[in-house]
Amino acid sequence: MRFPFALTDEGHTIIKATINGAEGTFLFDTGAGLNMLTKNFADSISDLEKTDGFYTGHRATGEEVQMDIWKAGHFAIDQYSLKDEFFSVYDIDFPLDGLISLTVFKDVPVTIDYKNEELVVESEESMEKRIEQAETILPIQLSLDRGKTVGISTYIHLDNKLKLQVKLDSGAGF
């Protein structure tokens, strides 16, 4: 499955998705860890179910945020759909309806194809073919936190002296 996205001048990946039938525009953010809806958009969605959970995280600025966790009965990007997906809701002035994180792809391999501006949900066969044709392979580590967040990172070497593990964050732009 392939889904188009828009790449902004700043390098942000923008996708369309529906939550319980309400269509929104979202930043696809591999660094977010958790799906987030703005309060304004969440207020427009019917049948969001508040859970008894919350999540404490940090914005890119270091500011601590605490968000309630809600469950949506249906989430979809084109024909890719999930049931019972979780979202945090945050009261923030944001130009989009929220962030879509890697949690929606936690059970399937996905490729961000910047050249063709599309997200590709890979099958086993397409993933094998992609690996065979790859000029460069970047090994990644997957982190799961309490069944609520998903993150990816890789190692980089600085001056062949220092090895650092860095988070891969498509939400930060170029």
Q: Domain limits of the chain?
A: 2-172
Torsion of CA 68, 31, 107, 96, to 10 degrees: 60
Work out the average pLDDT over 2-26: 96
Q: What is the 3-state secondary structure (H, E, C) of 23-55?
A: EEEEEECCCCCCCEEEHHHHHCCCCCEEEEEEE
Work out the average pLDDT over 27-56: 93
**Per-residue model confidence (pLDDT) at position 56:** 87
The CATH code of domain 2-172 reads 2.40.70.10
**Per-residue model confidence (pLDDT) at position 58:** 81
**pLDDT per residue over 53-91, tens digit each?**
888 888 778 889 899 999 999 999 999 999 999 999 999
Give this prediction's pTM: 0.88
**Per-residue model confidence (pLDDT) at position 138:** 83
**pLDDT per residue over 93-140, tens digit each?**
999 999 999 999 998 999 999 999 999 999 999 999 988 998 888 889
**Per-residue model confidence (pLDDT) at position 139:** 86
